[in-house]
Amino acid sequence: MIQGNVLTWLGSAGGWYDETAMGLQDYPGMGQGAVALRDLEDDTLLFSVPSSLLLSAEHSDLRTHLSSADWKDLVDAGGWTALIMCMMWEDAQGERSRWYGYLKTLPERFDTPMFWSEDDLRWLEGTDILSKVGKTSAEETYKSQIVPLLQKYPEVFTPDPSASHRTIPHFSVDDFHVQGSRMLSRSFSVPKDTVKPDPMGDVSMQSAGSDESADEGAAMDDREAEKGSAAAQLVSEEEAPVVIPDESQVENGNDEEEEEDDHEDDDDDEDSEADIEEEVMVPVADILNAAYGLDNVSSSR
């Protein structure tokens, strides 16, 4: 059951929304969604989320409760393990978490194959869907990456008494699946430098029609995409062109040209670093409709 009003929370947490333009509505079987309260012109600013409210591994305080080595191992595990772990931890903090008002509005139950019983999954035999659900690999990740931390830091992973909005046990494998499903269905890709600790700037959402509209991107590999998950992409600036040295310049051995090639390679490295993106949860953005191309997201710094 979805509880609370995420728009009210956003306003109290330092964000902003146009209360004359958007509100919330309950949709049977789907939870809450945004609804326009009046006719909206193109480029109408609907809400703004401070970058500090983006729920990411970088912003979560969990990193301060683990040793630097254990935190590095968690991040280096790759994928979205660190983000899911931080979502589990923040959810268990209850009112102590700055995202409490947001997390308690997220769904706790999903009807995707990840949550089907073995009997129900047998109906998929003969198709390639079973191999793409990824439940076994997800639970292996939970056992190898999450459980050791739970055992090593029991005082860190003890739920706060105020975290009473949940019906499934905190830090359980079911919790891992729920947070993973929340992330896969609602996360956005943002430039990594947007989610550095204590960043400046914000993320804004406008009505469709701007020249700066961002396409809904696939932030997952083919396996996750086959599960029906999708993520929109936040774009903050145009990508710089990548310079590729001409083959004749590489082969002729001219010192001056080699120096130019080295400079171009350095530029390529800088461009690659600038293009690195990270998955984050963007409060409020995930209550908009999921129609392709109708969302318009931009981040500013």
179 falls in which pLDDT band (50, 70, 90)? Answer: very high
Beta bridge partners of 90: none
Whole-angstrom distance, CA of residue 283 vs CA of residue 154: 29
List all residues 6 or more positions away from 74 whose beta carbon is below 8 Å from its beta carbon.
66, 81, 82, 85, 145, 149
Q: Which fold has domain 6-238+273-300?
A: set domain protein methyltransferase, domain 1 (3.90.1410)
Question: Average model confidence (pLDDT) for the chain?
Answer: 76
Q: Cβ(13)–Cβ(51) under 8 Å? A: no
Residue 246: the pLDDT is 37
More confident residue, 8 or 232: 8
Summarised one tens digit per residue, pLDDT across range 80-120 is 999 999 999 999 999 999 999 999 999 888 888 888 888 98
Q: Is the pLDDT of residue 279 over 60?
A: yes
List all residues 6 or more positions away from 213 whose beta carbon is below 8 Å from its beta carbon.
293, 295, 296
Specify the pairing of strand 31-36 against strand 296-300: unpaired
Angle at 77 between CA 194 and CA 106, to 5 degrees: 60
Q: Where are the domains of the chain?
A: 6-238+273-300
Does the pTM of the predicted model rise above 0.85?
no
Please give the share of the chain, as a percent, with pLDDT higher than 70: 67
Whole-angstrom distance, CA of residue 177 vs CA of residue 199: 30
